[in-house]
Each structure stands twice: as C-alpha cells, then as structure tokens.
Structure 1
Amino acid sequence: MELKNKVAVITGGSGGIGRAMAKAFLKEGANAVVLVDLNEAAVMAAANELGCDGEVCDVTNEDQLAAVVKRTLEKYDRIDLFCSNAGAGAGGLLTDAPNDIWQKQWDLHVMSHLYAARAVLPAMIERGDGYLLNTASAAGLLAAIGSGPYTVTKGAAIKLAEFLSITHGDEGIKVSVLCPQGVNTAMAPRSLGDGQTDGIIEADDLAKTVVNTIREERFYVLPHPEVEDYVRRKGNDIDRWLGGMRRLRRKSVG
C-alpha cells in the first residue's frame, strides 16, 4: 500500500515510534494522520507540531478507542491504516511480577489491538480495503530475559496479528506486525547488554522500515534484520535455541 492520500491513525502517537511513523507517513503524502495518546499535553503538542489531529484516549478502554475511530470516520470518511502502537515495558518473572502487572501488560499489548481491530474492521471490510499495523517486539518472537509479562504479551500480540491476517486477508485487509529490538525512545536505554539487541536504532530509521514494509505488504516489520535469522534458527531447532537462551540468562544473572 502506498501512503499517499491515505488516512492513518496511530496510538501511542505523542512520541517515540508513534511520532516517528507520523512524520514518515506525512512525508509520504498521507492525507491525514490522527495521533492518539493517553497524555493530553504530549499528544496535542505533537499534533500541533506535525500538523496532525490529536486525540486523548486510553487504548485499554474499548469504548474510548471506538469513539476515536467513530470521530475519525465521521471527519475523513475512512481509515486506511490503523497503527495500534501503544505499549510500555515491565520487568519481573513469574514469581516476582504481581498479577496487576501481568494484567496491565495484557490489556495494553493484546486487548488494545483487539479493541482497535473490532472498531476499524467493519468499515474496512465494507470498503474491501484496509491495513492494520500492530506494534509488538522482537521479544515476542524471541524473548526478553528478565521480563516475563512483556515477553509473553508481545508474543500474544504477534499471534493476534497472525489470526487477523488469516481471518480477514480474503476481505482485503492487510496486516503487519512491528517487531523491533532496541529503539532510542523513552522505553529503551542507549545500550542493552548480554546479546539482547543488535544495536539501538533511531525511531526515524525504524519508521523508514515501516513505510517500506507497508509498501510491500509484508507481515513482519523487522527494523533489525538479524531477527529474521534468529527466528529461523529457533524454528529449525527449538531445543537448541532454548538451551542457548538459558546460557544467556545464566550469564545475565551471574
């Protein structure tokens, strides 16, 4: 899909990856970009700076997200691309991450994608055309050592994107899932150790990969191309991969 003259909605749009995607989409000639974020001051500042619409919304609240979609459809008559991008990190393992952390991560990384799809799919299916871009993480394809809630919910986000593609691909709906490693945003430090990343990239560079992947309508958006090889190795020999990850964990906690 070409982004020229398209209408896009981006959650988590006030900064980082979301803001970078908005800039890139506008550069490609998008007709309108709607930035959505929980932080009113931040999203309105970003919207004013970029020349976008700004919407305040808690994406874990289905009614609020549906209202954003309704207002956008009323104003622009269509949504060509919905980027369900909002997310947040969380540490902890099975034993030391409390249930409320697991639930918050599930609501943010899985249910928000589901709520977005429920809201935008009817109009997209009626038109026979539409694009969903869900932000997950390389951690969902592989693992983030020391972050159980994040890893598990990002993995579920990828599975949901797969299911959306399988279920609605014949109705004209394209689906991509964004799976970066480290990105220089508020969520990531300048460097990550123990082999957990192949380098911290800038959000603007990630956005270029997003644009190219949408143009080619490929499922995986991999700003760190090494991840594709890691996933292939994992699939070829899961037991060997698990053993390697256990060695990496021992090094990390040692």
Structure 2
Amino acid sequence: MVDSPLTLQPIARTAESLTEKVITGVLDAVRSGQMVPGILYSVYQVADEFGVSRSPVREGLLRLADSGLVRFERNRGFRIILPQPHEIAEIFAVRLALELPAVRRVARESSPALNEQLQRQLDDMERSAAAGNDALFSKQDERLHDLILAAAGNSRSRSIISNLRETTRLLGASTADRSRTLEDINAEHRPVVEAILEADSSAAESALRRHILHTGTLLVEQAAADQGAGQDCNEIWVSVID
C-alpha cells in the first residue's frame, strides 16, 4: 500500500497523554483539511508525521473508531468518516430522553449544597467564556450537566450521557465560534440553574429542553452543511424525536 500524501505537525511532549494528543491532532487535521474523509491512511504514516510511536496512535484511532469518526480496513489502514447528521440527531434525542427527567427530579429535590455547586459551576463557565477559553469551558459545561445527572441518582443514565458527550467531542462537533459564542452557550445554561435554585421543575425542564434542542439543531445543520448533501434538517429531527 502506498500512503496518501500527508503533512502533520509533530506532537509536543506535554503532561497531556499522547493518546489524547493524537486524538486532538487528528481532529485538527480533519478540520484544517490536512486529512481528507475517505482517503486511506496508515497508522505508521500518522505516527511518523506526529513523531510518536505507533501505540498511542493506534489507541487514539481506536477511540475515534468507537465514536464513528474512523473506519479501519484490515491490513490496509484507516479512513476518516464524517458523522452523518442523523447520527448527531440520535445522540441528542437520547440526551433529551434521559436529561429532562433528571433535571425535573433535581429541581424538586435540590439541596443547598447542590445549589451552591451549580451556581459555582455556572460562575466558572461565565469566567471561562469571558476569557475565550473554549477547552476549559467545554469541561465545565460537561461538569454542570454531570452534577445534575449525579444528583438525580441514576448512575446508568449518567454513564450513558457521559459516553454520548465524549462521542460528540471526539466527532469534533462544536458550535463554539461557528454558530454561537461561548457567552451564548453559557446564557442557555443560566435559566436551567436558576429554575433549579427556585425549585421550579417545569421551568428547569423547559430551559434544558431548549438548550439541548438548540445545540443539537445547530450541530445537525453544521454537519449537513459540511457534507453538502442538501439534507432537510427538520425531517431529520422529526425522524428521531417525533
């Protein structure tokens, strides 16, 4: 097999694991056009370009394969596979099914300790948004949702949502700086937390529904636009939600 042309920046040695650095490097290469969906690449080639051993490259690619972004071909290499809009819509349909009952319960049964945690997390997100720290904001965003799920007491739902959010992250799906700012995203979380603090379960559910639906809609539209398939995003949503 002749490797497809590829020029990637060597990976810097930092405290972050090499596997995570490989994942980030591949996602960045896909976004920049250095790695093209459908083209066959080899693990050896990527390892050489990044200047690392093949082991973290394989581990990183396996995680991306689990998320549907990479497809391995036996004894040949791998190809980048763009996420289909329908797949992204399915992720958010599951999130709606699991997170809305959770936030209703938390709003009914919230404690002063939880309220303090949620408010502090929201404040941290606001500071990260103002600083333009996308990576930190994303982690804090995930932490806020996880606090709600943990307080609801359903560990299985919490695990499922964590895996789905990881899949979304590995797919490189983000609305930040494409269709809304970090401040916009943070503003969507504020009414969710405020409703929990006021023990208003209906308002909490409505606010979280708006946030999840808005995020999912934007990501489905972005995926459809990136692939130029001319798909009807409304039909996609109807097929997975209604």
Q: Please report the TM-score for the alignment, with normalisation by the length of structure 1.
A: 0.25
* Higher normalized helix content (fraction of residues): 2
Structure number with the bigger relative contact order (C-alpha 8 A, sep ≥ 6) is 2
